[in-house]
């Protein structure tokens, strides 16, 4: 009997520890949550874990629908955050809550959420990063180049914001475009326009300054990847037709690609990629040359303001020459 007790003792001890350390706290938390839900009523003002203040509009079982401030456009926020992971969305909401607290406000506003998306995408603002006047001017023309090429093409997403304030990600500025609605498919013309928009920054440097800088490295990388995908994965080439020349490995772990063709075909693909990017680059140069006056006006405005909205951009772009300041 004594041996049985000695053998059972560790299991009894584990059961006691499990009860007091896990089971009992869980039951207490469940009871606390149930009491909290029972106390909630339609019209009660609450704050979510993410920091969004709102008013309860409907209660159904264990789900609560809340009504947030009227100035928050969640459709717009969703479009701006398109492609973000669940973890990134949580970071966006938490960052917005922190911004509201630092500003001494009791609720999260539209601007808090928009800035939080930019923080997650491009990093925090580096206002202590000082550019020379010439560098700042180049960045202003570079970003307006992107925006102007996008605006002068059809099937391009509208410009949401343009800034030349450096970010911790290393970006000296960026142009944000947001589709007006859900967009699941892109045709060949849209992809070509996107490549042209990516080359718009470098094209602006060439048109205005007659020289080029290192600021287009990320644009070049994205344009090249997109052009290559058009040829090898999307079948948008008469020469290769609907033949898969590239496979995607580890789709959910970075999406590395590898070519599945002969060395001769690889050389042909490289040549076609260069031709495609060059054609869109030349188109961007033509657009900016034809709209040089607006390019100068918008770049000077951005240089002075450092950050402008899409509405400001379009207002200046559509302004008649006689009304220009």
The domain in which residue 59 lies consists of 39-122
117 & 138 share domain: no
7 within domain boundaries: no
Look at the alpha carbons of 82, 86, 91, 96 in this order and tell me if their dihedral is positive or negative. positive
Counting beta carbons within 10 angstroms of the beta carbon of residue 302, is it exposed (0 to 12), middle (13 to 18) or buried (19 or more)?
buried
Q: Are residues 244 and 160 in the same domain?
A: yes
Whether residues 165 and 218 share a domain: the answer is: yes
Residues 90 and 166 reside in one and the same domain: no
**Same domain (yes/no): 176, 231:** yes
Residue 143 and residue 73 share a domain: no
In a domain, 167, yes or no: yes
User: Do the domain assignments include residue 33?
Assistant: no
- Select which of 95, 143, 205, 297 is catalytic: 143
Among the candidates 122, 142, 158, a domain finishes at 122
User: What CATH code is carried by the domain that includes residue 106?
Assistant: 1.10.8.60
Which pTM does this prediction carry? 0.72
- Co-location of 113 and 167 in the same domain: no
Rounded Cα distance, 153 and 24, in Å: 63
Q: Judge if 143 and 56 occupy the same domain.
A: no
Please state, in angstroms and rounded to a whole number, the distance separating the CA atoms of residues 289 and 219.
20
For residues 183 and 261, state if they share a domain: yes
Looking at 66, 95, 122, the residue that finishes a domain is: 122
- 209 and 288, same structural domain? yes
Residue 14 lies in a domain: no
Q: Could you tell me how far CA 263 lies from the centroid of its own chain?
A: 36
Looking at the structure, do residues 249 and 162 belong to the same domain, yes or no?
A: yes
Q: What is the pLDDT along the chain (325 residues), one digit of tens a residue?
A: 556 556 667 777 787 787 777 777 777 877 776 776 666 666 666 666 555 556 566 666 655 555 566 677 777 777 777 777 778 887 887 788 778 777 877 677 888 888 888 887 777 777 666 788 999 999 999 999 999 999 999 877 888 889 998 887 778 888 888 776 667 788 999 999 999 999 999 999 999 999 999 999 999 999 999 999 999 989 998 888 888 777 777 665 556 677 778 888 889 999 999 999 999 999 999 999 999 999 999 999 999 999 998 899 999 999 887 554 4
| Residue 92 located in a structural domain | yes
143 given a catalytic annotation = yes
Can you say how many angstroms the Cα of residue 23 is from the centroid of all Cα atoms in its chain?
42
**Total domain count for the chain?**
2
**Residues with Cβ within 8 Å of residue 289, at least 6 apart in sequence:** 207
Residue 28, domain member (yes or no): no
Domain's final residue, options 122, 142, 177: 122
Within a domain: residue 13? no
Enumerate residues 6+ apart whose C-beta is below 8 A from 324. Answer: 297
Within-domain flag for 55: yes
- CATH at residue 202: 1.20.58.760
Q: What is the pLDDT of residues 118-136, one digit of tens each?
A: 887 777 777 666 788 999 9
Same domain, 224 and 317: yes
- Alpha carbon of 161 to those of 166, 270, 311, 323: distances in Å? 14, 34, 9, 23
């Amino acid at each position: 009997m004594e041996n049985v007790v000695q053998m059972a003792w560790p299991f009894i001890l584990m059961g006691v520890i499990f009860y007091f350390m896990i089971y009992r706290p869980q039951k207490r938390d469940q009871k606390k949550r149930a009491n909290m839900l029972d106390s909630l009523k339609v019209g009660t003002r609450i704050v979510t874990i993410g920091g969004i203040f709102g008013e309860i509009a409907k209660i159904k079982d264990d789900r609560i629908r809340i009504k947030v401030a009227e100035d928050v456009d969640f459709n717009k926020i969703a479009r701006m955050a398109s492609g973000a992971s669940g973890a990134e969305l949580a970071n966006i909401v938490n960052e917005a809550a922190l911004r509201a607290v630092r500003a001494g406000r009791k609720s999260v506003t539209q601007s808090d959420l928009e800035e939080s998306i930019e923080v997650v995408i491009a990093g925090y603002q580096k206002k202590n990063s000082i550019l020379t006047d010439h560098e700042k001017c180049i960045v202003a023309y570079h970003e307006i180049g992107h925006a102007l090429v996008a605006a002068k093409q059809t099937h391009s997403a509208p410009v949401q914001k343009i800034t030349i304030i450096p970010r911790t990600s290393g970006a000296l500025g960026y142009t944000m475009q947001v589709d007006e609605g859900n967009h699941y498919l892109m045709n060949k013309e849209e992809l070509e326009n996107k490549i042209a928009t990516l080359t718009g920054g470098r094209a602006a440097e060439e048109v205005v300054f007659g020289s080029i800088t290192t600021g287009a490295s990320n644009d070049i990388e994205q344009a090249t990847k997109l052009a290559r995908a058009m040829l090898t994965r999307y079948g948008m080439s008469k020469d290769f037709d609907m033949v898969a020349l590239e496979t995607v490995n580890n789709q959910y772990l970075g999406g590395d690609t590898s070519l599945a063709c002969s060395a001769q075909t690889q050389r042909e693909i490289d040549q076609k990629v260069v031709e495609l990017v060059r054609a869109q680059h030349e188109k961007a140069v033509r657009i900016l040359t034809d709209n040089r006056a607006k390019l100068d006006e918008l770049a000077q405005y951005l240089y002075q303001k450092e950050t402008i909205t899409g509405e400001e951009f379009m207002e200046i772009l559509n302004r008649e020459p006689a009304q220009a300041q």
